[in-house]
Structure 1
Amino acid sequence: MRVMPASEFSLQREVEYGTPEQNESVQRIIEEVRRDGDAALRKFAQQFDGVKIEELRVTQEEIEAAYAQVDESFLTALREAAVNIRRFHEKQMRNSWMDLQADGSILGQAIRPLRRVGLYVPGGKAAYPSSVLMNAIPAQVAGVPEIVMVTPPATAGLEGINPHILVAAAEAGVREIYRVGGAQAVAALAYGTESIPAADKIVGPGNIYVALAKRSVFGAVDIDSIAGPSEIVVLADETADAAYVAADLLSQAEHDEMASAILVTPSRELAEAVRLEVDRQLSELPRRDIAAQSIRDYGAILTVDSLTEGVGVVNRLAPEHLEIIVREPFDYLSRIENAGAIFLGPYSSEPVGDYFAGPNHVLPTNGTARFSSPLNVDDFLKKSSVIYYSKEALLRDGENIITLARHEGLDAHARAIEIRLKKEGDQRG
């Protein structure tokens, strides 16, 4: 793992624009799904997944059968995690409000859930039932009446969908599940087919084709984000345990060859100890090849002169996950401007947030923590402004409204107010 001064480091982020060939392929898939509907979905399942599909929708019997295929310990852990996730997100819920003015006018905001949300669950290098909970539960808390899940038809080989994913969906209250993945699944959620009604929003991660498809259909449907490779930054001083730090760096490196894992520290002793510990722990990992490439290409140990300088480095990196393992971690919390999730202290290991604590693990990547937030209940709500103007208020403010409208050259706007002022003036006369 590279050790270098922070001033010499530049993280070359991979922006998910895709190659011309990938973009062309995605556009072709989307247009074919729009034109041919279910037939296109079955064709692409055969072409890309090697599976011949008759029934797109997963049956209730399949969901129930999945429970018999998972361990009781998994089910217990999943249910406890779901309780924590639900409890956290319930605190985010907002209410509609109305403000009665002295003149009788009412101004307010009506908050309503989206009608239908599509959850994409990948089926590539690993299955992530935790992501099912993290995407579905906030939507459910928001009151979304229709939550639908799509996932590739061969996440458990040719036998079908991974039972852990089906159980997680059922535990999160998702009963409408379709065995379709890739760009074709995104197109189905955006535009609808004979079997899959269109959704209002698509959430959930996927490969480059899913990311490009989500970007392409945005506007016809809302999306959560274009997710990039996973990231972790650890800000640590001499009090940190090198084994803990190395383990947490590797916890993200094993996700993907393009994941980034970075330590920022003023302690040269810790830097060297972590470098050695990463090498030692790497040899024990089942996914060592993936993690090793991530560490080699995107991992680094950055030395700084002080924790204050380290905070500046963190804010420039704007990481998805940030761990602060220093003597007094809360002293530095207010100084962090850019981070998707902040883990304080030696026992708040990043997997605590990934799986169990309750805050959402769907976080901004590629430096977008500068302006983006974790997935939350607000992502599944829409807001309408409410305006009830009294006669008194319109007579008082009418001329100002007319002045602004005419200044913009919008005479019909001005006349809509003038006609009311004239009529009310005539009636008074």
Structure 2
Amino acid sequence: MFRIGEEEVAAVRETLLGKRMWRYQRDSQTERFEHALSRKMNTGYALALASGTGALIAGLTALGIGPGDEVLVPAYTYISTAIAPLAVGAVPILVEVDETLTMDASDLRRKITPRSRAVIPVHINGHPCDMDRILAVAAEHDISVLEDACQSVGGSYRGRRLGTIGEMGAFSFNFYKIISCGEGGAVLTRDPVLYERARIYHDSGLCFFSPGQEVPVPLFAGVSMRISEVLSAILNVQLERLDGILDDLRTVKRAIGREIGEGPDWRLSPMHDADGDCGIKLGILLDTPDRVGAVLARLRTDDFPLGLECPFYSERHVYINWEAVLEQRGAAHPLRNPFREMPVPYTDDMCPSTLDVLRRTLYVIVNPELEAAAAAEAGRKVRKALEG
């Protein structure tokens, strides 16, 4: 959460003192947020939920994904992207990422089988995927597209908002996201049937609808993923801050990137749409993993004002650290484990291109509050470390 102030405090106070703690009461903060988010993202429907993981699971449920299905996910993403298919009874199939660290559309095509039913492209760290190619592959094989835009609220790809390009999109608002309420999520779609199916699932089978209210799809059993009115009150204020946060984030990022430039064995990480980037991390791609370690060591002894990271060491974001997936423990009860009927031959080295590019990437974690002069100085320090 980059910016929080008295406006959020006032919104929470008003909600608490008004004793309106449940989304189905009048003047619902959650309903207000859903309408505001759908307008902001230029999509027909937005459903607020308790988490981004819940948004992915509700999205897959709405799309009809289940036992016997394969869902293609990138090998570099937060583990929730791979866990969500297991939660609906499907199995995740790992796809390589390219130098942008987003899904490699060529490898996506190679990994599709007759059991493939959906693909989850992840706009990781706010960097847009190659959506035109991914959509083309998906259309060719008649598979659904659920965008994981959990780390990219407000970003775009060729003028289209991330999370609104596929059939459905998932957002997250946890503490590490561009706008945040601590924990929260949303699923977006233009399809009223998909929206209703997600709404039913997230609300225990739509328990709290009025008798006689017309529901366009049959009710089915679900779980409770409803978001709190207090969290929605925070999100209503945070959404108003989004454009300002992104403007400042991009300004700081450009200032740092200009100073870093390109060298004999490094360059800024490529992007599929730099104008639509909304990431909090600036990537630098080096020729060898050893160089990444050396540059990190220099910067960490140079009073560097920003965070630094090699994504290979980002733990649950890298498939080799997904024990539950690699060891095929897809559920607590063995009879509910999707791998029981559909074993997948996972290995630690099954996505070598992904591991290679992760080891050769250095991330500078950007703070949108940084002044222009400080951002430029940070960029010069990175270049100095790169030059050795």
Question: Which protein has the bigger helix share?
Answer: 1
Larger Rg: 1
Same fold (TM over 0.5): no
TM-score, normalization by structure 1: 0.28
TM-score, normalization by structure 2: 0.30
